[in-house]
Amino acid sequence: MASSEIEVTESPGAATAQDPPGEAAAAVVDVFSASAYGDLEQLRRFVEQGGASLSTPDASGYYALQWAALNNFADVVQYIIENGGNVNATDNLKQTALHWAAVRGSVAVADVLLQNGAWVEAADINGYRAVHVAAQYGQTAFLNHIVGRYHADNDAPDNDGRSPLHWAAYKGYADTIRLLLFREASQGRQDKEGCTPLHWAALRGNVEACTVLVHAGTKQELKVKDNAGVTPAQLASNKGHRAVANFLTNAERAMSNHWTDKIRSGKFGDSGYAPILLCIIIGCTILFINSVLAAPDLPKVTAAVGLWAWTAISLAVGSLIMFFRCWSKDPGYIKTPRELGNHQDDEDPLLSIDVNNSSQWTGKWSQLCPTCKIVRPVRSKHCPSCKHCVEQFDHHCPWISNCVGKKNKWDFFVLICMATMTSFLGAAVAVQSMFHPSSPNFFFFFMLPSRFIADSMKVNFCQGYGLPQPHFQRASHGFIMSWFNILELLYFCFSMALC
């Protein structure tokens, strides 16, 4: 990659506005400082009594309007425009007051400027428009405002071919990325170096930015190579961002068609692991009946043990029913406007959110789903496996090949309880039958390679724990028993994994 860092334009006025109020009063010496500190009274005095001009720049080439815009003084901005300030005046870098307003995300100032004829697409010498500056500084509300209300192009390229999405990805502003993707910014756009936004996010090791981009994208971006022939995953790896490199490599594997890649990435097709779990439950139940209860060479179980055994079988059947419900039920998918059939193209859904209440805003951006194009309710989340937002999302369970959410969480809870009880009861009955004085023992199978070790282990283990001595004479049934126990153990592990 030719250049790995993007220079961000820092506004020189940023420092002055942060001075304490006491010093501010002393620092107001001309129209520029009065504008920067929002001292409208002093500004009036300079203009109306001193005859100062608002249309000429200061020694550095910056205008009073820019200073007021930067520090979000909408009343001062209004006054300057009404008293000869040029709303589209540019400094030496060709930046307008709107660019400066975008640095701090001054929405009220943007309204005043744009309603007084400011050009929303004005570009500076780097080709940065207000949308680029807002993305560089993570001013999501500002960006949303000028795009939604003033139709700024949210996908415009700068002189290097970088869109606001490139910038937001590079700086790691996940909320800005969500907004831009929600507003259909192009993920596949390559800049002059051939880099997509995912390249820039990977370069900087921004995990959250990469996650949002990958989940909302078509996954084709993972394969795109820049001019140096490097994919985002390789770029992250080269830069030593291991978490991002692993995430992107896993995402690449998941979209690969090779079955080993799917297993390694934890995704086994669209069906997940549900068929495996189904086979295990049915297989274990049949083995339990066949090898423990109905086995001809095992001692007949007592009434009490039999009752527990049949309880375990009933629970296994119940687990199957609950498994089917969890697997087949809608977990609480949130319908997209397209699915609901109402295309409200004329009404921008994001404009109804109160942009002036910043405390409300900050929590809201994560509620935008760039994939489903909805503002989702609190506690809901997008599931990349199901490709839907799920209400009261808990997690996506590969064993039931479904999400656990609002509508199936109780079914899932009952499934977990039933599966756990089945495992414990089944195992208890099986162990009770095996350690009966006249039963074969599964230890034999494990110790088959060395009869000598088997014998010594048998004695040591059983004596040590005060257990009855097992019999090793009839090994044929022990073989089935051992497999039953392995499966039982697996089943138990699976039910634990479900939790």
Q: What residues are annotated to the active site?
A: 397
Output 184 or 297, the one with its CB closest to Zn ion. 184
Query: Under the criterion CB under 5 A, does residue 382 sit at the interface with Zn ion?
Result: yes
Q: Give the Cα separation of 87 and 115 in Å (integer).
A: 10
* CB of residue 109 to Zn ion, shortest distance in Å: 34
Which contacts qualify for 266-272: CB closer than 8 Å, 24 or more apart?
266/398, 267/385, 267/398, 268/398, 270/401, 271/401, 272/385, 272/397, 272/398, 272/399, 272/400, 272/401, 272/402
Torsion, Cα of 185, 188, 189, 190 (10° steps): 150
Position among 120, 386, 434, 447 found at the interface with Zn ion (CB under 5 A): 386
Output 398 or 426, the one with its CB closest to Zn ion. 398
Query: Under the criterion CB under 5 A, does residue 397 sit at the interface with Zn ion?
Result: no
* H or E segment to which residue 396 belongs: strand 395-397
Query: Under the criterion CB under 5 A, does residue 396 sit at the interface with Zn ion?
Result: yes
Q: What is the maximum alpha-carbon separation in the chain?
A: 114
- Give the binding range for Zn ion (CB under 5 A) out of 25-33, 120-128, 172-180, 365-373: 365-373
Q: Give the Cα separation of 246 and 31 in Å (integer).
A: 54
Position among 389, 415, 434, 498 found at the interface with Zn ion (CB under 5 A): 389
- The distance from CA 152 to its chain's CA centroid, rounded to whole angstroms, is 27
Site residues (CB under 5 A) for Zn ion, limited to 412-431: none
Output 128 or 393, the one with its CB closest to Zn ion. 393
Output 97 or 400, the one with its CB closest to Zn ion. 400
- Give the binding range for Zn ion (CB under 5 A) out of 78-86, 137-145, 208-216, 393-401: 393-401
Q: Give the Cα separation of 257 and 262 in Å (integer).
A: 7
Query: Under the criterion CB under 5 A, does residue 212 sit at the interface with Zn ion?
Result: no
72 contact partners, CB below 8 Å, separation of at least 6? 101, 104, 106, 108, 109
Residue with tokens 């001309």: 30
Query: Under the criterion CB under 5 A, does residue 267 sit at the interface with Zn ion?
Result: no
Query: Under the criterion CB under 5 A, does residue 403 sit at the interface with Zn ion?
Result: yes
- Give the binding range for Zn ion (CB under 5 A) out of 115-123, 251-259, 349-357, 363-371: 363-371
- Give the binding range for Zn ion (CB under 5 A) out of 98-106, 116-124, 344-352, 370-378: 370-378
Output 342 or 359, the one with its CB closest to Zn ion. 342
Query: Under the criterion CB under 5 A, does residue 368 sit at the interface with Zn ion?
Result: no
Position among 112, 383, 404, 418 found at the interface with Zn ion (CB under 5 A): 383
The radius of gyration of the chain from alpha carbons, rounded to an integer in Å, stands at: 34
Q: Give the Cα separation of 290 and 298 in Å (integer).
A: 11
Output 104 or 396, the one with its CB closest to Zn ion. 396
Site residues (CB under 5 A) for Zn ion, limited to 65-124: none
- Give the binding range for Zn ion (CB under 5 A) out of 198-206, 216-224, 247-255, 361-369: 361-369
Output 166 or 382, the one with its CB closest to Zn ion. 382
Q: Give the Cα separation of 4 and 1 in Å (integer).
A: 7
Strand partners for 402: 397
Site residues (CB under 5 A) for Zn ion, limited to 11-70: none
Lookup: tokens for 117: 């004829």
Query: Under the criterion CB under 5 A, does residue 369 sit at the interface with Zn ion?
Result: yes
| Binding-site ranges for Zn ion (CB under 5 A) | 369, 371-372, 382-383, 385-386, 389, 396, 403
